[in-house]
Structure 1
Amino acid sequence: MGTKILIVDDSELDLKLISTIISNNEPFRSIVTASDGEEACRQAVRHQPDLIILDWEMPGMNGLEVLRTLKKNELTSELPVILMSGVSFTDKIKEAFTAGVADFIPKPVNSEELQARSNAVLTNYANYKSLKDHANQLTLANLKNERILKSILPLPILLQIKEYGSIPPKRYKDCVAIFVDMVDFTPKTGKMSPGVLLRELNELFNGFDDVIDKHFCTRIKTVGDAYIAVCGMFYTPGNIEIEAASAAVKIREYIIERNKNSETKWEVKIGLYNGDIIGSSVSPSNLNFDIFGETVNMASRFQAMCEPMQINVSESLSKPLSQAYKLVTRVPRKVKGKGVMPMYYIHKPLKEIKKEEAVLMPAPSMQ
Structure 2
Amino acid sequence: MVSELIRSLGPVRQEPSAVTETGSILVVDDIEANRDLLSRRLARDGHRVASAAGGQQALEHHEFDLVLLDLIMPDINGLDVLVRMKADERLRRIPVIMITALADTDSAVRCIEAGAEDYLPKPFDPILLRARINACLHKKRWRDREQRYLRRIEDETAKFERLLLTILPRQVIGRLNHGETMIADRFEDVSVLFADLVRFTEHSGRIAPAVLVEYLNQLFSEFDALARELGVEKIKTIGDAYMAVAGLPDPIPDPFAAIAKMAFGMIDRLGRVNGHFGWPLQIRIGIHSGPVVAGIIGAHRFIYDVWGDTVNVASRLEAYSLPNRIHVSQDTARHLVGPFALEPRGSIEVKGKGKLETFFLSRI
Contact in 2 for aligned 1:56/1:84 (Cα 8 Å)? yes
Counterpart CA distance in 1 for 2:64 and 2:329 is: 72
Contact 2:24–2:48 at 8 Å: present in 1 too?
yes
Could you tell me which runs of 5 or more consecutive residues in structure 2 were left unpaired when the two chains were aligned. Answer: 1-20
1:218-297 equivalence runs, <5 A: 218-237=233-252, 240-256=255-271, 259=274, 263-297=278-312
| 1:157 corresponds to 2:177 | no
Rate the CA distance shift 1:89–1:269 in 2: closer, same or farther, 3 A: same
Q: 1:90 to 1:301 in 2, by over 3 A?
A: same
For 1:4, the aligned partner's letter is: S
Of the structure 1 ranges 231-240 and 309-318, higher mean CA displacement relative to structure 2 is found in 231-240
Whether the 8 Å contact between 1:36 and 1:59 is mirrored in structure 2 is no
For the pair 1:191 / 2:221, whether they are aligned, the reply is no
Q: 1:162 to 1:237 in 2, by over 3 A?
A: same
Equivalent residue runs for 1:31-42 within 5 Å: 31-34=48-51, 36-37=53-54, 39-42=57-60
The answer on 1:94 being equivalent to 2:102 is no
Query: Which residue identity is paired with 1:201?
Result: L
- In structure 1, the partner of 2:134 is 119
- In the alignment, the residues of structure 1 paired with residue 138 and residue 286 of structure 2 have an alpha-carbon distance, to the nearest angstrom, of 66
Q: Name the CA distance, whole Å, in 2 between partners of 1:35 and 1:116.
A: 23
**Alpha-carbon distance in structure 2 between the residues aligned to 1:127 and 1:262:** 55
Equivalent-residue separation in structure 2 for 1:144 and 1:249 (angstroms): 33
Q: Which residue in the other structure is 1:64 paired with?
A: 79
Q: TM-score, normalised by structure 2?
A: 0.79
Counterpart of 1:7 in structure 2 is 27
Q: Identity percentage over the alignment? A: 28
CA distance in 1, matches of 2:51, 2:273: 65
Q: 1:176, 1:274 within 8 Å by CA — same for their partners in 2?
A: yes
* Aligned mates of 1:159, 1:73 — CA distance in 2: 33
Q: Distance in 2 between matches of 1:104 and 1:212?
A: 61
2:225 matched to 1:205? no
The whole-number CA distance in structure 2 between the counterparts of 1:325 and 1:86 is 84
Q: Aligned equivalents of 1:7 and 1:320: distance in 2?
A: 74
Q: Give, in whole Å, the separation in 1 of the partners of 2:329 and 2:208.
A: 36
> How big is the shift at 1:72?
5.0
Q: 2:186 touches 2:291 (CA, 8 Å); kept in 1?
A: yes
Q: Is the 8 A contact 2:345 2:360 kept in 1?
A: no
Select the structure of larger CA radius of gyration.
2
**Alpha-carbon deviation of 1:111?**
2.4
Q: TM-score, normalised by structure 1?
A: 0.78
SS at match of 1:164: coil
Q: Which of the pair has the greater relative contact order for Cα pairs under 8 Å at 6+ separation?
A: 1
Confirm or deny: 8 A CA contact 2:187 2:293 kept in the other structure: yes
Amino acid at match of 1:7: V
Of residues 202-211 and 100-109 in structure 1, the stretch that sits farther from structure 2 once superposed is 202-211
Q: Conserved in 1, the CA contact under 8 Å of 2:191 and 2:332?
A: no
The alpha-carbon deviation at position 178 of structure 1 amounts to 0.5
- Offset at 1:75? 2.8
Out of 161, 177, 187, the residue aligned to residue 172 of structure 1 is 187
Task: Tell me the CA shift for residue 133 of structure 1.
Answer: 1.9
